[in-house]
Structure 1
């Protein structure tokens, strides 16, 4: 196995290039890579985009135009632990723009149907606190939110 780690392949129905461009625009430390096109051998139209390599936040991906047979589900999601509310707002707003939709507890789907979890990194410490009362208050506050609000979570954690 290569020592370069894993590459995540994302299956699209004709939107691979658009999706790769979008994700590269959302995340720092991102870039587009090689583009592979279908040939006369098919199955897609000759010259159309088959795959696009890209990196988003240093993670390697391939966007594949595989057709309508498969779609994304919430069974797979990407987590974005954020340093502060500004980062939460940035990723939430960018990933829900142009047809994306917010879900409960920091989950969202982007316009391509891919699921993301956008949360303040500190949340993991708060809901995992050894004090079950603090953890429960924080978890209960989180359950009431769509986009997560770090200040409100910290108040719940503190019992305010």
Structure 2
């Protein structure tokens, strides 16, 4: 049996084209795919986008301009971006939180379209899985106090526990 792909579908009020252009400008190796426009006599203004697709770093998203009744996103659904290093964290954090976005704790933010993102450095996952439970707890505790996650601060928190244990 061939696996059937699962593709997220996002419901916008009327900002699909703007959102697709924005997201594809933020993520490398991304593109806007086909956009279906309303025809003359359709329910929407002729020529405006009704539905479409865009691809962000290999993941395809479908989206519709479905109107205001169900538009709007909730933090119970978010997209997590695992970043290679602090520079990548900073890039996505700044780009996605700009122009009306809102930052949250623990590496979460909402972009200007209301979509929630988790911007997390790979190093956090490594530290949280440290075989020394005290180091893992210290890194996790530090992350819980952060808004934008800072790798150096995670490492400092883990190292402080490690050095105080070896000094004792």
Partner of 1:101: 102
Q: Equivalences for 1:1-160 in 2 at 5 Å?
A: 5-40=5-40, 42-70=42-70, 71-159=72-160
Aligned residues: 160
TM-score w.r.t. the length of structure 1 is 0.93
Q: Which runs of 5+ in 2 are unaligned?
A: 162-168
Secondary structure, aligned partner of 1:68:
coil
Q: Structure 2: how far apart are the matches of 1:40 and 1:141?
A: 56
TM-score, length basis structure 2: 0.88
- Classify 1:41/1:3 alpha carbon distance in 2 versus 1 (closer, same or farther; 3 Å): farther
- Structure 1 regions of 5+ residues with no counterpart? none
Larger Rg: 2
Q: CA deviation at 1:102?
A: 0.7
Say if 1:76 and 1:115, in contact at 8 Å, map to a contact too.
Answer: yes
Q: Which runs of 4+ in 1 moved over 6 A?
A: none
Contact 1:96 1:109 in 2 (8 A): yes
- CA deviation profile, 1:113-154 (whole Å, cap 9, x unmatched): 000000111211211223221111111111111000000001
CA drift at 1:58: 1.3
Q: Offset of 1:3 from its aligned partner?
A: 5.1
Q: For 1:148 and 1:20, how far apart are their aligned partners in 2?
A: 26
CA contact (8 A) 1:6 1:60 kept: no
Q: CA RMSD in A?
A: 1.7
Q: Contact conserved, 1:19 with 1:63, CA < 8 A, in 2? A: no
Question: C-alpha distance in 2, partners of 1:63/1:5?
Answer: 16
More displaced stretch, 9-18 vs 49-58: 49-58
